[in-house]
Amino acid sequence: MPTPLDELDLAEFDLFDPAFNADPFGTLHRLSADHRLLRTPFGLIVLGYDDCQAALRQPNLHQGIRLLQDMQAITDERFVQRKRQSILTTEGDAHTRLRKLVSKAFTPRATDRLRPLMRELMERLVDPLSALGQAEFVSEVSDPYPIPIICALFGAPTEDLPLFSRWATDILKSLGFNLAQDLPAILAAEEEMDHYMEALIERRRREPREDLLTDLIVAEEAGDHLSHEELIMMAEAIMLAGTDTTRNQLATAMWLFAQHPQQWTLLGAQPELAANAADEVLRFNGVVRSVIRVAAHDVEVAGALVPTGTLILPSFAAANRDESYFSDPMRFDISRASDRSHLSFGGGIHYCLGANLARAELAEALSVLARRMPGLALEAKPTWRPPIGIQGPTSLHLRFEPGS
C-alpha cells in the first residue's frame, strides 16, 4: 500500500544549491542510496530507475511542459492553443493517434538517408578549425550542426537555411522563462514558419520526394491522415524538440571526452564504437536531466500516494546512474556492453520521437571529430546554462593536435 504523501518525512532539496550544481550527478547518486523521493518547491524528484520508468508509464501523470506558460501567466490564446495541440503536450487517444501517424516517418531507414549529410556537415564545420588546433566548440561546431539536418529532414532548399536558423532561435524561446518578453518574437517566427511550411507542404503534395514531409503527408493509419494544421504543428514540434537538445548533447559529449582522453583515443582508433559512445554520453550526462509531469488524479509514485495536481520530476540524472540497474554506473566507458535503456530520451508514451535521428547525429559527429581532433583537451573552463531546462555548455574552448 502506498503511504500518503503528507505522512512521509521527505528530505527537502534545493535545486539551486551551489554544492548540488557543482556535482549534480554525484549528489543525486549519494541521495539515491537513502531516498526514493526528494521534495523541492517545484515538485517531487523521483530518483530510482524503476520508479522513474513507472512514473513515465503512468497514464495519470500528464505532460507538464504547459506549466511553463501557467507559471509565467501567459494567456495569449494563439500561443496557448497551439501548445495544447502539439504531440509534446497531448495525452490519451489524441496523443496515440498523432504518434501512430508520425512514427511511420521516423524509422531507422528514414534516419539513415541523412547520415551522409551529417558526416559531410561535420567535416565542413571542422575544416577551418583543423589547422588552428583550437575551437570554441559551441559557436563554431555544435550550435550550427542540427539546423541544416532539420532543414534537410523537411526537404527545404539549402538557401533557406538562414530562415530555419532564425525561426529555431525564436521558437525555442517558448521553452524559456522570459515568455512575456519573448512572446512577440515567438509568435512572429511561428507565423512565418507556418506560411513557409504551408507552401512547402503544397509543393510536396504535388511532387512527393524522399523526405520527412512527404512521409508525414502520406502517413496513413486506418484511413486517417494528419490534417494540414497537424502537419504544421509537427514541423514546429520537431524544431522545438530536435535542435537545442542535439547541439547541447554534442557539446556536452566533447566536454566529457576532454576529461576522459583515453576514451577519446579509443574512439579515434575504433570509430565503430561511435554508436555506443553516443549512448554512453547520453546515459552518463544526458542534457535532459528531468521531465515534468502533473498528477491528473491521486496516484502512486515511488511508494507514495500523491494528490492530484502534484508536480513530479522523474530524474534521469539519478536514474541513469542507478547501480541496481547499471553496473559501475559512475564510470564513463564507451566500450561498456551496448545498453540503450538509459532514460535520456524519456519513456512511456512521450519517449523521444527523434531518438533514432539524435543517435545518428551524435554518432556520425563523434566519429568525424575523434578522427579530426586527436589529443582533445580543455583550453579554458567552460561556462554553463542555468541549472533548469536543457543543460549544456554556453562556451567550450577546446584544443587538439592540428592538421588532422
Query: Does 43 interact with ligand HEM (rule: CB under 6 A)?
Result: no
Q: How far is the CB of 34 from ligand HEM (least distance, A)?
A: 26
Place of cell 530510482: 48
Decide whether 268 or 354 has the Cβ nearer to ligand HEM.
354
> Which of 53, 58, 142, 246 forms a contact with ligand HEM (CB under 6 A)?
246
Query: Does 267 interact with ligand HEM (rule: CB under 6 A)?
Result: no
Distance CA 327, CA 323 (A): 6
Query: Does 318 interact with ligand HEM (rule: CB under 6 A)?
Result: no
Part in contact with ligand HEM (CB under 6 A); list of ranges 68-76, 241-249, 269-277, 324-332: 241-249
Find, among 205, 269, 192, 272, the residue nearest to 235 by Cα: 192
Decide whether 134 or 152 has the Cβ nearer to ligand HEM.
152
> Which of 172, 237, 304, 365 forms a contact with ligand HEM (CB under 6 A)?
237
Part in contact with ligand HEM (CB under 6 A); list of ranges 75-83, 128-136, 225-233, 245-253: 245-253
Cell numbers placing 222 = 486506418
Cell numbers placing 399 = 584544443
Q: Binding-site residue total for ligand HEM (CB under 6 A)?
A: 24
Q: How far is the CB of 399 from ligand HEM (least distance, A)?
A: 25
Query: Does 357 interact with ligand HEM (rule: CB under 6 A)?
Result: yes
Contact present, 127 and 403 (Cβ < 8 Å):
no
Which helix (H) or strand (E) segment is 226 a member of? none
Q: Cα dihedral sign for 381, 383, 387, 389?
A: negative
Place of cell 555544435: 142
Task: Count CB-CB contacts under 10 A for residue 172.
Answer: 18
Q: How far is the CB of 328 from ligand HEM (least distance, A)?
A: 23
**Per-residue x/- track, 271-290, ligand HEM (CB under 6 A):** ---------------xxx--
Decide whether 53 or 344 has the Cβ nearer to ligand HEM.
344
Query: Does 382 interact with ligand HEM (rule: CB under 6 A)?
Result: no
Query: Does 391 interact with ligand HEM (rule: CB under 6 A)?
Result: no
Q: Residue 272, class by beta-carbon neighbours within 10 Å (0-12 exposed, 13-18 middle, 19+ buried)?
A: exposed
DSSP string, 313-339: EEBHHHHTT-TTTSSSTTS--TTSPP-
Query: Does 358 interact with ligand HEM (rule: CB under 6 A)?
Result: yes
Query: Does 63 interact with ligand HEM (rule: CB under 6 A)?
Result: yes
SS3 45: strand
Query: Does 238 interact with ligand HEM (rule: CB under 6 A)?
Result: yes
Part in contact with ligand HEM (CB under 6 A); list of ranges 168-176, 186-194, 220-228, 238-246: 238-246
Part in contact with ligand HEM (CB under 6 A); list of ranges 9-17, 269-277, 347-355, 380-388: 347-355
Q: How far is the CB of 291 from ligand HEM (least distance, A)?
A: 4
Query: Does 88 interact with ligand HEM (rule: CB under 6 A)?
Result: yes
Query: Does 58 interact with ligand HEM (rule: CB under 6 A)?
Result: no
Part in contact with ligand HEM (CB under 6 A); list of ranges 30-38, 181-189, 201-209, 243-251: 243-251
Distance CA 201, CA 192 (A): 14
Query: Does 353 interact with ligand HEM (rule: CB under 6 A)?
Result: yes
Query: Does 242 interact with ligand HEM (rule: CB under 6 A)?
Result: yes
Q: How far is the CB of 267 from ligand HEM (least distance, A)?
A: 17
Query: Does 61 interact with ligand HEM (rule: CB under 6 A)?
Result: no
Q: How far is the CB of 16 from ligand HEM (least distance, A)?
A: 22
Query: Does 241 interact with ligand HEM (rule: CB under 6 A)?
Result: yes
Give the distance, in angstroms, between the CA of residue 289 and the centroid of all CA atoms in the same chain.
9
3-class SS string, 153-189: HHCCCHHHHHHHHHHHHHHHHHHCCCHHHHHHHHHHH
Place of cell 545518428: 360
DSSP state letter for 105: T
SS3 384: strand
Kind of pairing, strands 3-4 and 304-306? parallel
Contact present, 129 and 369 (Cβ < 8 Å):
no
Q: Cα dihedral sign for 181, 182, 183, 187?
A: positive
**Which residues here bind ligand HEM, judged by CB under 6 A?**
63, 87-88, 99, 237-238, 241-242, 245-246, 249, 286-288, 291, 344-346, 350, 352-354, 357-358
